[in-house]
Amino acid sequence: MHGVVINDAPLAKAPEIVPPTFKPHWWYKKNRLDARPVIWSLYNHPKDWSMSTPNRLLHAPSNHEFWVGSGKMYTRLYDAQMQSGSCSCLHQSERGRFQRFQKGRFWRAYQHWNRNHNAVDADHFAAHFISGH
């Protein structure tokens, strides 16, 4: 029998995460990027992300890199290379900058991802001190 059975009833699969739609606000600048889809992805698809260098965060499926090395005031899209060449996300925007007030939200999402991505394995750490005496 496949799957877990409780009281003779199989457990249902977890629902698939459906991404929301992001409609622009009236005050958005047309030459700035909307960070909300990036923030959503950091929280909902953390395995799609990795650090490409100590200062750059890479979204593997899109091959878009974000600068995160100098603090929240300097976060932005750093590079956007697609298999077919350069993506227009970077050079059609204002140097990869986010909409007003989104740098802080992106930074908090990155910090949340970074804390979970670099979490300490407590059992591994403890084993160094309590085993083999």
- Give the model confidence (pLDDT) of 28-49 as tens digits: 898 899 999 999 999 999 999 9
In a domain, 82, yes or no: yes
Q: Which of these ranges, 9-13, 54-58, 78-82, has the smallest mean pLDDT?
A: 9-13
Q: Which burial class, exposed, middle or buried, applies to 87 when counting CB atoms under 10 A from its CB (0-12, 13-18, 19+)?
A: middle
**Alpha-helix runs per DSSP H in 1-133:** 36-44, 88-91, 102-117, 122-130
Q: Which domain holds residue 75?
A: 28-116
Number of domains in the chain: 1
What was the pLDDT predicted at 108? 95
What was the pLDDT predicted at 67? 93
Percentage of the chain modeled with pLDDT above 90: 35
In a domain, 15, yes or no: no
In a domain, 3, yes or no: no
pTM of the model: 0.74
